[in-house]
Amino acid sequence: MAKKKVKFVCQECGYETPKWMGKCPSCNNWNTLVEELTSKPSSRHTFVTSDSSIRKKPEQITKIKSEKEPRIETDMPEVNRVLGGGIVPGSLVLIGGDPGIGKSTLLLQLSSQLANKQLNVLYISGEESTRQTKLRADRLNALSDNLYVLAETNMADVSNQIEHINPSFVVIDSIQTIFKEEVTSAPGSVSQVRECTSELMRIAKHKGVPIFIVGHVTKEGSIAGPRLLEHMVDAVLYFEGERHHTFRILRSVKNRFGSTHEMGIFEMKEEGLREVANPSEIFLEERSQGVAGSTVVASMEGTRPVLVEIQSLISPTAYGNPRRMATGIDYNRVPLLMAVLEKRVGMLLQNQDAYVKVVGGVKLDEPAIDLAVAISIASSFQDKSSKPDDVFIGEVGLTGEVRRVSRIEQRVQEAAKLGFKRAIIPKKNIGDWSVPRDIEIVGVNSVQEALKASLGGA
């Protein structure tokens, strides 16, 4: 007989303790410890050391054949880009996002596209009935005889249906609703999520079928539950965007088969998600011309250059401590660049409120946006507008120097394609690369030189 014991598991970080506590000592969250029953084998395991018990033997890495993994390409190039070139057979992919952002819509459209390629697709919904899924499929025109829909939450039945249908693509929506009968805790708990994901990973690797699972997110925007869920899967994708805006961004934060810096942009329509072929044009279409505090930066999102507008508003503070707010960039970057402008350029910004925003809901985290942010802050402070056909690229150091950045040629080419006439870049980046015909290159060594070139001096 197996002995049963009680343990308490934190639903946020997975910390285990034999007694209940109000506050988790690992993640410091309150009221997250939930009671779970575990079975402990009463007899000890015996280990067999005979050669016949060893199923697999280690191989020399030099004798292992290198084979390029074939990929399943979808009809959405943006999804293929984020995944690193397509869906890898046998991969386990986790997609997270806020409720109502469009995760189920995206996966149902992908399922329909693969089903139209004569591939058997199994869409398992633990949150909706088959009729509800059919209503969404009618609206999206995602209908195919090769698309199978199942409303099930029992992991054993899910495994049996995958074995019976033998699909080429599986969607689990969502992993927090699936449970195993052997585990006594409630669906969505740490133990259930861990065991069900392990079972799905075994199925994916054994049968070579790609499985996409949907994960709920917390109010902070991270995948709900412990981090072990993200460690177990092959790729983690976040579907981002504001519910009141139509644009959605699919971003990769982990990918064993490609880059983690790629980004796909979609627009939510009545008939589903539509890809945005030229995101730079979309982000700049409502840009105000000749307004102080507005600059444009050419940022790299993976292998794709994207032109985004950065807006700043500098105003005298009415409080003892001036406010610093940033949307779309790291908050700590704003006071750092303001300190550089104050110390190296002589701008008195210590009594000014600063509000910096990246327009379009994009999040930028590369250092090449420093120069554009600094020029935007200086432009708003002096109430002088930069030229509307200028684009700024460069990293700013603490001594006020403008440092070189990577992939400068792709950035400048994207700016020239959208009609920009001048690019202010680090002087160290001027070298062995071809400059487009219709754009002027201005190399600068410091923030002072950049301000003089764009605003006519500090």
> How confident is the model at residue 39, as a pLDDT?
57
- Is pLDDT larger for residue 58 or for residue 42? 58
Beta-sheet pairing, 235-240 with 92-97: parallel
The pLDDT value recorded for residue 49 is 44
Q: Is the pLDDT of residue 102 over 80?
A: yes
pTM of the predicted model, to two decimals? 0.76
Q: What's the CA gap between 71 and 50, in Å, rounded?
A: 40
Mean pLDDT of 97-117: 92
Residue 101 marked as a ligand binder: yes
Which range has the top average pLDDT, 21-35, 36-50, 309-323?
Answer: 309-323
Distance between CA 415 and CA 439 in Å, rounded? 8
* 104 in a labelled binding site: yes
Count of CA atoms in the C-beta half-sphere (13 A) of 281: 7
Selected residue with higher pLDDT from 2 and 32: 32
pLDDT of residue 218: 63
**2/122 Cα distance (integer angstroms):** 36
397 is annotated as contributing to ligand binding = no
Over residues 110-130, the mean pLDDT reads 94
**What is the structure's pLDDT at 42?**
44
Mean predicted confidence (pLDDT) in 232-241: 90
Rounded to whole angstroms, how far apart are CA atoms 141 and 265?
21
* Residue 86 in marked binding region: no
Percent of the chain scoring above 90 in pLDDT: 58
Q: How far is CA 239 from the centre of its chain?
A: 7
HSE (CB half, 13 Å, CA atoms) of 88? 20
Q: Does the pLDDT of residue 231 top 50, yes or no?
A: yes
Nearest Cα residue to 447 out of 326, 310, 338: 338
Give the pLDDT confidence score for residue 351 in this predicted structure: 92
The dihedral region occupied by 279, where left means phi > 0, alpha psi between -120 and 50, and beta the remainder, is alpha
DSSP conformational letter for 382: H
Q: What is the mean pLDDT of residues 370-399?
A: 95
Give the mean model confidence (pLDDT) for residues 220-231. 65
User: Picking from 37-51, 209-223, 240-254, 338-352, which range would have the lowest pLDDT averaged per residue?
Assistant: 37-51
Distance CA 29, CA 228 (A): 18
What per-residue confidence (pLDDT) applies to 424?
A: 96
* Terminal alpha carbon distance of the chain: 81
Residue 302 labelled as part of a binding site? no
- Is pLDDT at 95 greater than 50 in this prediction? yes
- How confident is the model over 179-191, as a mean pLDDT? 84
How high is the pLDDT of residue 193? Answer: 87
pLDDT at 48: 45
Is 99 marked as binding a ligand? yes
* Segment among 139-148, 179-188, 226-235 with least mean pLDDT: 226-235
Mean pLDDT over residues 125-129, rounded?
92
In contact, 417 and 425? CB cutoff 8 Å: no
Q: Would the annotation count 387 as a binding residue? A: no
Is 277 exposed, middle or buried (CB count within 10 Å of its CB: 0-12, 13-18, 19+)? Answer: exposed
Percentage of the chain surpassing pLDDT 70?
91
Give residue 10's pLDDT: 84
CA 363 to the chain's CA centroid: 10
Query: Both tokens of residue 325?
Result: 């707010």
- Say whether 328 counts as a known binding-site residue: no
Length of the chain as a residue count: 458
For 94: left if phi > 0, alpha if psi spans -120 to 50, otherwise beta; the answer is: beta
What does the pLDDT read at residue 7? Answer: 84
Whether 226 shows a pLDDT value over 60: the answer reads no
Query: What is the distance between the alpha carbons of residues 13 and 191, in angstroms, rounded to a whole number?
Result: 12
Rounded Cα distance between 334 and 353, Å, is 11
Q: Is the pLDDT of residue 185 over 50?
A: yes
Distance CA 230, CA 14 (A): 13
Instruction: Determine the average pLDDT of the residues in 332-357.
Output: 95
